[in-house]
Amino acid sequence: MESFRMFCDGSHRIASLADFLGDRLQESLSEAVYKKAAIDTVDEMKCNITAFNGNRSKLEFHLMKSLAEKEEFQSLITYINQPKAAFEIFIKECVDQYYMDKSRSIYKALKINLDQFTKLIHSAIKKSSSITIGRHGDVSSWLDTFCSELSAHLTLSHSDFKGVKYQNIKDIDFLKEAMTKALETVEENLKCDFSTCDVSNIKARPYEILYEQLAGCWETCPLCKAVCTNTVPGHKEDHSVKFHRSQGISGWRFSKTEYLVTGVCSSYVASDKCFKLNDKDRYPYREYRTAGPPYSKWSITPDLSSLNYWKWVVCRFQSDFEKHYKKKFAFINLTLKLTILIDINMKKQ
């Protein structure tokens, strides 16, 4: 009678232990499956989405293209004044679009990953059991082996199991059986979760991974707000960008007037023109570095060419910019305006 009670107590304790371990496993397993799916999806997206398969300059080109297609001033001004936010929005939009197109394959990927991880756990249960039995060990040594077997794949800390570690359970065969059953339940639960899962569960991570991988230096030209194209955040060399913009786009106006500057800073640095800070300190563009930081930290090389994109932006959104900065654009060449607008319209047809 006494031994039967002991057996019941023991098996009951093992079953509770298996349930407890099952719950911990479900959390770690779900986390690992989503994490792996996110990494796999990022790799897939980098192969399939052109905007993501290069460096940030390539991403910026696609962002500019999408802004030109949208023709929304609000999105454009966000890109000019808060480039980081605009990049985040653009990456999110691409990721959302990708999930909309590929939702089925993402569910499949989650199930495949779940299968792989479950196999690893099954083999860890078997291995821990045979090692522990061979050494006449108890549940504590079983847990040691189990955690170290899975440490490369799951975030499973032995300290999570502290509460059950010292229960002096010796029936390892029964533990093995109970754990196998608990794992089957966990697998069913997760399959069910994945089938009904809203893809937003996984969306945030690929977005975060991509943003981190594609981020670079976020400094902007103090004259036109073009983003530095260096791919290393906090780089030692001067900031630089290939294409600068019309300065009026970032709100620069001619001194003591209400007119926005149409010219591009990279052309001005080759001229005899000057700029003023705080309406008093005057600096020749040729010696823009004398204005101190952030000017001194930029390498703006004289370049008389500029992207047609920014000329088009000024022409297309002239009145929006004027309303936004409560100023007028000076000297917009009407012939240029017509040429660009006609050119763009021809390309659209």
Burial of 9 (0-12, 13-18, 19+ CB in 10 A): exposed
Kindly tell me which of 226 and 314 has the beta carbon lying closer to Zn ion.
226
Q: Is 225 left (phi over 0), alpha (psi -120 to 50) or beta?
A: left
Kindly tell me which of 129 and 230 has the beta carbon lying closer to Zn ion.
230
Contact window for Zn ion (CB under 5 A) among 11-19, 69-77, 217-225, 333-341: 217-225
List all residues 6 or more positions away from 127 whose beta carbon is below 8 Å from its beta carbon.
Answer: 145, 149
How many CB atoms are located within 10 Å of the residue 211 CB? 16
Tell the residue number behind the tokens 């703006």, with chain if given: 300
Kindly tell me which of 209 and 226 has the beta carbon lying closer to Zn ion.
226
List binders of Zn ion among 243-282 (CB under 5 A).
244, 265
Question: Residue 33: CA atoms inside 13 Å, Cβ hemisphere, count?
Answer: 30
Compute the least distance from the CB of residue 129 to Zn ion, in Å. 56
Please name every residue paired with 18 in a beta bridge, in sequence order, or none if there are none.
none
Kindly tell me which of 174 and 310 has the beta carbon lying closer to Zn ion.
310
Is 223 an interacting residue with respect to Zn ion (CB under 5 A)? yes
Q: Which of 203, 279, 265, 247 lies closest to 42 in space, CA to CA?
A: 203
What's the rounded Cα separation, in Å, for the pair 294 and 234? 14
Is 291 an interacting residue with respect to Zn ion (CB under 5 A)? no
Is 306 an interacting residue with respect to Zn ion (CB under 5 A)? no
239, 311, 316, 327: which one binds Zn ion (CB under 5 A)? 239
Is 217 an interacting residue with respect to Zn ion (CB under 5 A)? yes
Compute the least distance from the CB of residue 247 to Zn ion, in Å. 7
Is 154 an interacting residue with respect to Zn ion (CB under 5 A)? no
| Cis geometry, peptide bond prior to residue 294 (ω within 30 degrees of 0) | yes
Compute the least distance from the CB of residue 307 to Zn ion, in Å. 12
Is 80 an interacting residue with respect to Zn ion (CB under 5 A)? no
Please give the C-alpha separations between residue 128 and each of 12, 96, 137, 175, in angstroms, as whole numbers. Answer: 21, 42, 10, 11
Is 230 an interacting residue with respect to Zn ion (CB under 5 A)? yes
Is 36 an interacting residue with respect to Zn ion (CB under 5 A)? no
Question: Residue 278: CA atoms inside 13 Å, Cβ hemisphere, count?
Answer: 3
Kindly tell me which of 26 and 220 has the beta carbon lying closer to Zn ion.
220
Kindly tell me which of 194 and 298 has the beta carbon lying closer to Zn ion.
298
228, 249, 313, 340: which one binds Zn ion (CB under 5 A)? 228
Residues in touch with Zn ion (CB under 5 A)? 217, 219, 221, 223-224, 226, 228, 230, 239, 244, 265
